[in-house]
């Protein structure tokens, strides 16, 4: 007999409002362990442990490993391979040990012995045999509860992917569940005829239900947060999605309201209903894995140190490359690491100067495309959009726009017709028979001859100042911010190109992971168009003159978009460019095309399955085909192998081969005496880059917990996320194929290395007055290296103070480790 006697006086009579308020806080404390998960239409890379930032890196990993099966460090096998290849050397280890004041001779053998250590088994300590029978039954209940809850979440959170969905979900998950829980086979099987009564006796309010369940399960108040955390980490995927929905989605979000407290209320109601007071639940907190320990951290630091020495050596050696006196065009790229290659190739082709700035170009708006029902945010998730800008047809092209909208509506209607016919009784059978003859040859063609369909859209205008958009003073403010942050306040060339970026793939649920993260997982083209339109406005230019930024009258801002999968750059809104820039723009376009070809040739061979030939034309054709191929599981590497974030002028990194692994943000230290620009860069783009780096790190190091699993097993659910294989929990993070090939990691799991060119005192002030920076830097979430630019060399920041940087090995032998395809 398993459920408690329902008439027992354990019910909470009417929980007071104070109790509820405290419960809310406890739930949030428990949920802090998990990072929010954005729906896949706008995938955002987040630091999976972002809620534990104040615990420092080791502390956060240790805390997380109490609840989730992760070690948080690269495995011994991985380090052994790296050691064998020379990617980590004894010199690196010795340097790290010296920093930590450990004796190298004594600890090196222990470090080497750790390499032979097998992967730590993670799990609860095995108990006595007598407990096992109860634990087995409790385990079965646990797993079955997980399964039922996950299935209900998948149905609740569905945004129109299924034919027959739940109706009114505004009451929340708990309310919907309670209405149908009496029919749950798990409850009926265990409670038999008492199921309906037991469910009806549950409170109507999720907060009351949670409180009552906690009481019934006998959870003392001081262990409440722990118990809630334990419950949440049984289904980390859905809990992460619930966290996003509650905290980050915004008040006008139309997704079903799946909240964390509701999730916990349902989960604990299941447990309370199925609770057997004579048995024991697999209760105590799990023992942390043995695979960690201090050695893993030391190996990781040595691994990172090797890369740091390498890149700082390259930066020091490459000093002295001067920019052209007056470039023909200045091109502003997103800080994305994939832009580094294109910038390098472009600068080698002609008198061009490139800058790096976050891909939304400083304009926090939401954009609604032509015919879209609602707008999507196009700014980093750390800020909220100020206005919605709607795309409108270009003047004189209204007819084309109308016919485009009509055809889109027709397509939507036909699509809907197909969906209805799929579920109408009896209609699905002839539908399958009729469509099969047509779909399979199309599929065969698509497999053998991939070709992306070209959506021809009519020309449109994206005007930030249109009705409902930004006011003039806002446009002036954002324009000024953008130019000042970049350091582009004088010496404008005749053409300034703002280049956003996007990826283009076929049949890829994680497609938005390849788009611009600074535009909230959307293509960067519309942001570039907006910014260019605002900067070309005479009123804005006049106001900028008043603020000290004199843009010459014949300078024109042009918008462009870089397709990172095929490495070609498209100029947008060509029809708006004045004729006097025609020749220059044509020259720039052909140079961009050539630079793109060189990029494709450079990165092509690292893609698995690419032909080994280094011919540019073959490489370009191959990447184009890869982008269009629906069977291709790895159309591009995206941000894999990202390693560092550089804040400084282009002269610091110009001409140096950084392998496309570095985020580059422009910054002119001389123009920023009070450190405000530095502060805005370090608290904005740096935090986003740290999130990206941490996401890749944890998806490589803990793929079962923080990674999305094998992409071939992915099963898109509800239009918001993916399930993997037979599992029912949403998967967070990046798929395995985005960071590895076969069993071998392609991404190098390291914490972000931040390189800044600014006076050290200024950095100290900025870090001191921003708590988040203090936590990131001094908590070892990233490594900070800076130089003042006055010849004193690089300094690393450790334990709150600056130490001069010395390479671990002698100058002549900076070892390079290239990933072999």
Say how far apart CA 649 and CA 327 lie, in whole Å.
15
Say how far apart CA 139 and CA 146 lie, in whole Å.
10
Residues 566, 348, 335: CA angle, nearest 5 degrees: 55
Inter-residue contact 360 to 527 (CB < 8 Å): yes
User: Which tokens belong to 77?
Assistant: 């096998």
Strand 801-804 with 795-798, pairing:
antiparallel
Say how far apart CA 113 and CA 807 lie, in whole Å.
26
Say how far apart CA 298 and CA 318 lie, in whole Å.
30
Inter-residue contact 778 to 799 (CB < 8 Å): yes
Inter-residue contact 239 to 230 (CB < 8 Å): no
User: Which tokens belong to 729?
Assistant: 């929990």
Residue 325 Cβ, how far from another protein at the closest point, in Å? 31
User: Which tokens belong to 314?
Assistant: 């390259």
According to DSSP, the residues that pair with 753 across neighbouring strands are 644, 783
User: Which tokens belong to 214?
Assistant: 């906690």
User: Which tokens belong to 185?
Assistant: 């086979």
Say how far apart CA 424 and CA 413 lie, in whole Å.
16
Say how far apart CA 81 and CA 746 lie, in whole Å.
13
Q: Which long-range contacts (CB under 8 A, 24 or more apart) does 609-617 make?
A: 609/634, 610/821, 612/821
> Which residues, other chains included, contact 380 with Cβ-Cβ below 8 Å and sequence gap of 6+?
358, 360, 517, 518, 520, 684, 685, 688
3-state secondary structure 382-434: CCCCCCEEECEECCCCHHHHHHHHHHHHHHHHHHHHHHHHHHCCCCHHHHHHH
Residue 19 Cβ, how far from another protein at the closest point, in Å? 8
Say how far apart CA 713 and CA 741 lie, in whole Å.
16
User: Which tokens belong to 605?
Assistant: 């061979």
Say how far apart CA 451 and CA 448 lie, in whole Å.
10
User: Which tokens belong to 378?
Assistant: 């196009």
Element (H, E) at 229: helix 224-232
Say how far apart CA 294 and CA 71 lie, in whole Å.
12
**CB neighbours (10 Å) of residue 405?**
14
Distance of CA 135 to the CA centre of its chain: 38
Q: Could you give the C-alpha distances from 556 to 31, 532, 544, 545, 569, in angstroms and in order?
A: 49, 8, 15, 16, 18
User: Which tokens belong to 808?
Assistant: 């671990």
Residue 343 or 728 with smaller CB distance to another protein: 728
> Which residues, other chains included, contact 505 with Cβ-Cβ below 8 Å and sequence gap of 6+?
511, 514, 565, 627, 632, 635, 636
Distance of CA 434 to the CA centre of its chain: 41
């Amino acid at each position: 007999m398993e459920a408690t006697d329902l008439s027992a006086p354990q019910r909470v009579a009417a929980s007071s409002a104070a109790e509820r308020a405290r419960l809310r806080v406890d739930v949030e404390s428990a949920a802090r362990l998990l990072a929010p998960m954005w729906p896949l239409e706008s995938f955002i890379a987040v630091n999976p442990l972002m809620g534990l930032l104040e615990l420092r890196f080791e502390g956060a990993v240790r805390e997380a490993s109490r609840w989730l099966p992760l070690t948080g460090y690269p495995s011994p096998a991985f380090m052994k391979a790296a050691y064998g290849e020379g990617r980590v050397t004894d010199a690196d280890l010795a340097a790290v040990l010296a920093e930590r004041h450990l004796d190298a001779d004594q600890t090196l053998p222990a470090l080497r012995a750790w390499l032979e250590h097998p992967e730590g088994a993670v799990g609860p300590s095995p108990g006595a045999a007598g407990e096992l029978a109860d634990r087995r039954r409790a385990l079965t209940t646990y797993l079955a509860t997980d399964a039922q809850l996950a299935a209900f979440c998948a149905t609740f959170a569905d945004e129109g992917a299924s034919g027959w969905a739940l109706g009114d979900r505004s009451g929340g998950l708990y309310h919907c569940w309670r209405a149908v829980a009496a029919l749950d086979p798990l409850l009926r099987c265990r409670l038999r005829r008492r199921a309906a009564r037991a469910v009806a006796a549950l409170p109507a309010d999720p907060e009351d239900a949670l409180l009552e369940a906690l009481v019934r399960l006998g959870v003392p108040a001081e262990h409440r947060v722990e118990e809630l955390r334990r419950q949440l980490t049984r289904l980390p995927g859905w809990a992460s999605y619930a966290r996003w929905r509650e905290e980050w989605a915004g008040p006008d979000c139309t997704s079903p309201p799946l909240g964390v407290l509701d999730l916990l209320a349902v989960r604990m109601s299941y447990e309370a209903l199925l609770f057997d007071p004579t048995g024991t639940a697999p209760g105590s907190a799990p023992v942390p894995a043995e695979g960690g320990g201090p050695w893993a951290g030391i190996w990781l630091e040595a691994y990172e140190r090797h890369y740091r020495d390498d890149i700082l050596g390259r930066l020091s050696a490459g000093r002295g490359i001067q920019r052209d006196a007056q470039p023909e065009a200045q091109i502003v790229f997103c800080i994305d690491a994939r832009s580094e290659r294109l910038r390098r190739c472009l600068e080698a082709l002609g008198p061009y100067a490139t800058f790096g700035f976050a891909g939304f170009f400083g304009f926090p708006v939401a954009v609604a495309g032509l015919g879209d029902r609602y707008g999507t945010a196009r700014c980093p998730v750390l800020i909220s959009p100020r206005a919605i800008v709607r795309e409108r047809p270009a003047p004189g092209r209204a007819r084309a726009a109308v016919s485009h909208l009509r055809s889109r509506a027709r397509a939507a209607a036909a699509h809907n017709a197909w969906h209805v016919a799929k579920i109408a009784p009896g209609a699905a059978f002839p539908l399958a028979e009729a469509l099969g003859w047509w779909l399979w040859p199309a599929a065969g063609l698509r497999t053998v001859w991939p070709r992306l369909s070209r959506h021809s859209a009519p020309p449109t205008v994206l005007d930030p100042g249109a009705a409902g958009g930004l006011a003039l003073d806002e446009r002036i403010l954002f324009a000024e911010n953008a130019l000042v942050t970049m350091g582009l306040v004088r010496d404008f060339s005749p053409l300034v190109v703002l280049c956003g970026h996007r990826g283009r793939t076929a049949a890829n649920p994680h497609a938005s992971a390849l788009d611009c993260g600074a535009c909230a997982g959307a293509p960067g083209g519309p942001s570039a168009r907006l910014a260019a339109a605002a900067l070309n406005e005479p009123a804005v230019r006049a106001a900028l003159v008043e603020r000290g930024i004199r843009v010459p009258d014949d300078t024109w801002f042009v918008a462009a978009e870089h397709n990172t999968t095929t490495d070609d750059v498209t100029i947008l809104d060509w029809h708006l460019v004045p004729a006097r820039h025609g020749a220059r723009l044509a020259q720039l376009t052909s140079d961009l095309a050539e630079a793109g070809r060189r990029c494709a040739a450079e990165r092509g061979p690292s893609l698995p399955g690419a032909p080994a030939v280094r011919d540019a034309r073959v490489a370009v054709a191959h990447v184009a085909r890869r982008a269009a191929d629906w069977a291709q599981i790895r159309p591009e590497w995206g941000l894999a192998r990202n390693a560092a974030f550089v804040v400084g002028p282009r002269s610091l990194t110009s001409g140096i081969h950084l392998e496309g692994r570095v985020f580059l943000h422009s910054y002119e230290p001389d123009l920023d005496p009070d450190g405000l620009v530095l502060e805005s860069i370090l608290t904005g783009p740096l935090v986003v880059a740290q999130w990206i780096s941490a996401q890749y790190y944890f998806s490589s190091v803990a793929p079962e917990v923080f990674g999305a699993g094998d992409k071939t097993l992915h099963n898109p659910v509800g239009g918001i996320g993916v399930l993997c294989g037979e599992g029912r929990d949403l998967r967070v993070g990046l798929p395995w194929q985005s960071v590895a090939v076969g069993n071998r990691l392609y991404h190098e799991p390291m914490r972000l290395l931040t390189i800044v060119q600014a006076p050290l005192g200024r950095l100290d002030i900025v870090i001191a007055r921003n708590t988040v920076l203090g936590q990131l830097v001094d908590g070892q979430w990233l490594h900070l290296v800076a130089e003042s630019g006055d010849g004193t060399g690089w300094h690393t920041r450790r334990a709150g103070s600056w130490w001069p940087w010395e390479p671990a090995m002698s100058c002549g032998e900076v070892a390079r480790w290239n990933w072999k395809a």
